[in-house]
Structure 1
Amino acid sequence: MQLAFRAISETTPGPIWAGLFHEHWPAYHDWWARNGLEARPPYFESRRALRAHMPELGDLYDRLCELAGGGDSAARFLSFFCPPPYLAGCSQAIWPGEEPMLVRNYDYSPTAFDAVVLRTEWLGRAVMGTSDGLWGMVDGVNDAGLAVSLTFGGRRVVGDGFGVPLILRYVLQVCETAEEAVAALRRIPCHMSYNVTVLDAQRRFSTVYLSPDREPVVTHAAVATNHQARVEWSSHARFTATVERERYLLARLTLHPESQEKFIGAFLKPPLYSTAFNQGFGTLYTAVYRPRARTMELRWPRVRWPLTLSGFSEGARHIAMPSAA
């Protein structure tokens, strides 16, 4: 199996983003409407919710809706308000050394993945990260030196709120420090349970447990896998080995002083690296974020792709994924 990853840059929303949207829209529409369009909130409710909770994105959202063609379904989808439920795996950890560094594995289905690193300067702020939903992000860094990343929180509860990739986009667009990011994460409703780790250039960090049915919990955890304070979905926990992965990372942080390279290399091997692609839980990439340098690096076994916010280079990589387990 091969995946084609692309790095794309567009300063303000325009024809490049519009082309990306129309390329992916048929698949996203099928997903968004899989339970019938009546199951999703109407456009005016979605737009009102976005402007109430993330007002800085309001005009940008309207512009993206125009570029998408102005259709009702597309506009409702782009609001990310009360989307269908979706699950991901993922592991992430903050390196214990002096330089701020966040490393994460993104474990998800290869058939439901943008495979795009998107760099923008929307609202006057440079941001780059891994795209989801065409303007949301599952991880990224901004020009203030703030990095964010998410993992699924291991709970089946679904409620009223936004899809977490748009919340991460919002954090990267409007926040500069970990403290500001935490304040935003505590305020914005999330429709499912996720763990969001934030790290800034001064090496201040937090992991916030988001849930649709209870208040966010702010922790100083340097590791996040696929549960929160405790396992609440035991079958998912067994399938994803979330506890085992968490223990493995905690052991590396506390018992094995090591170089950056060895720490990163651990994410490219079991138990962190997964080949369960057929079950929607294969490791699609490893990302390394260095907020002080404003850089990200995508890694796969035997492949590295460094990217910098200030000297971003568009391009593509065709990655041969390991045999699925």
Structure 2
Amino acid sequence: MSVEFQFQALVEDTPNEKWKAIFQQLWPGYRAWFLRSGVTGRPTYLECRQALRTYMPELVPLWEQLIELTGGGDVESRFLSLWCPPPYIAGCSQGVWFDPKGQEEPILLRNYDFAPVLLEGNLLNTRWLDQRVIAMSDCLWGALDGVNEAGLSASLSFGGRTVTGTGFGIPLVLRYILELAHTTQDAVNILKRIPVHMTYSVTLLDRKGEWNTVFVSPDRQPEVVKRHAVTNYQNAIEWPQHATATHSAERLTFLEQVLHHATNSHEVLQGLLTKPLYQDAWLRGYGTLYSAIYRPLSQKVEICWPHDYSQQSFEHFTEEQKLILLSVEPAPIPPAPLPL
């Protein structure tokens, strides 16, 4: 069994024709998901606008610009606010690694585990507000992980609880962090004040090596912790069925071992591409779709698969398109990436 999907790296300083093309391609699927409980099951346009103005006012002009590119529809506007969206559940592993020999800079790393048909697969290099951002896109303008020009990197993972509440979808919060924050502490302050609609863990690492993981939930106060590794539960497993299906505890134990024993970042990458961290349950919605390594000091990004990888940076960013083929058959570990 194998699956395939498209990956592309794009540069577009302000949203325009490239973003519009992405929207037109993905909107039918997003619209069906957003309206699965009916139009009245989602917050109104006025409620969405008020939420953005209250919690992320700096994004409002950008939101309005995106709405105009979509044609100005009511449903499109409400979806793009990501205010109280339908629930969504993924897998994912993430962490930070510090070179015990002090020869390499600290890195933020992650595996993104989800259903292939739901992956946008777009690594976007943008300057939407005051600084350049490279991020894996989700929900058309949100972010799954990324790094900004100030040298702050961030990623997210599902926190292992089914509770939902009043708040934003976490990809838009991560986008807001990457657009405006400069340090890990800036990002922590943002996560403490913006409500989210589900439980997530956000890992942060800045260019000075300051790092934190923040546990956010709709019904609990944010908790700031020092966790070198995180999978899909926070302080304890609260959804045993999900933890068992996604091997969350096993992945955490393995990732902790990788981070403890790795002597260089390539060994960390080898760990990410090794079971149980690397999952092939794509048809069940939690196979590994890509591995990522972010180097916030040098502002470099590596998006990796067993047979391929993409290297990018703010200084050297190349637009590209790849057809990614993933198979359950054992795959070789890619060679160490060449310097950018």
1:190 match = 196
Q: Secondary structure at the match of 2:6?
A: strand
2:248 alignment partner in structure 1 = 242
Q: Are 1:201 and 2:207 matched, yes or no?
A: yes
> Which runs of at least 4 in structure 1 moved beyond 2 Å after TM superposition?
251-254
Asked if structure 1 preserves the Cα contact closer than 8 Å seen for 2:262 and 2:268, the reply is no
Give, in angstroms, the shift of residue 123 of structure 1: 1.0
Partner of 2:155: 149
Match of 1:268 in 2: 273
Q: Say which of 77, 80, 83 aligns to 2:82.
A: 80
What is the rounded CA distance, in whole Å, between the counterparts of 2:8 and 2:138 in structure 1? 13
Give the corresponding residue for 1:295.
300
Q: Indicate if the aligned counterparts of 1:117 and 1:130 stay in contact, CA closer than 8 A.
A: yes
Q: Could you tell me which amino acid in structure 2 is paired with residue 307 of structure 1?
A: Q
Partner Cα distance (1:62, 1:15) in 2:
16
CA contact (8 A) 2:130 2:180 kept: no
Q: Using the alignment, how far apart are the partners of 1:309 and 1:192 within structure 2?
A: 32
Instruction: Select which of 121, 138, 150 maps to 1:115.
Output: 121
Identity of aligned residues (%): 45
Range with bigger deviation, 245-254 or 214-223: 245-254
Give the counterpart letter for 2:218 in structure 1.
Answer: P
Q: C-alpha offsets along residues 273-311 of structure 1, whole Å, 9 cap, x if unaligned?
A: 000001000100001100011111111112121011222
- Partner SS for 2:47: helix
Q: Alpha-carbon deviations, 1:226-272, whole Å to 9, x = none? A: 00111100111111111111111222333x24221111110001010
Deviates more, 1:258-267 or 1:278-287: 258-267
Gaps of 5+ in 1: none
Q: Give the equivalent residue in structure 1 for 2:337.
A: none
The answer to whether the 8 Å contact 2:160/2:242 transfers is yes
Q: Which residue of 1 aligns with 2:4?
A: 2
Partner of 2:29: 27
Q: Is 2:218 aligned against 1:212?
A: yes
* RMSD (Å), alpha carbons: 1.2
Aligned to 1:258: 263
Match 2:287 to one of 282, 286, 297: 282
> Any idea what the Cα deviations from partners look like across 1:167-217, whole Å, max 9, x if unmatched?
000000000000000000111101000000010001100000010001010
2:129 alignment partner, SS class: helix
Query: What code does the residue aligned with 1:113 have?
Result: L
Indicate the residue corresponding to 1:93 in structure 2: 95
Question: TM-score, with normalisation over the residues of structure 2?
Answer: 0.93
1:232 and 2:234 are equivalent in the alignment:
no
Q: Is the 8 A contact 1:276 1:324 kept in 2?
A: no
Matches of 1:11 and 1:260, distance apart in 2: 30
Q: Which runs of 5+ in 2 are unaligned?
A: 331-340
C-alpha separation in 2, matches of 1:124 and 1:201: 18
How much does 1:324 deviate? 8.9
For the residue of structure 2 that corresponds to 1:249, the secondary structure is helix
Measured against aligned partners, the alpha-carbon deviations of 1:87-145 in whole angstroms (never above 9, x if no partner) come to 01000111121412011000000111111111110112100111001100000000000
Instruction: Measure the CA separation in 1 of the matches of 2:19 and 2:264.
Output: 39
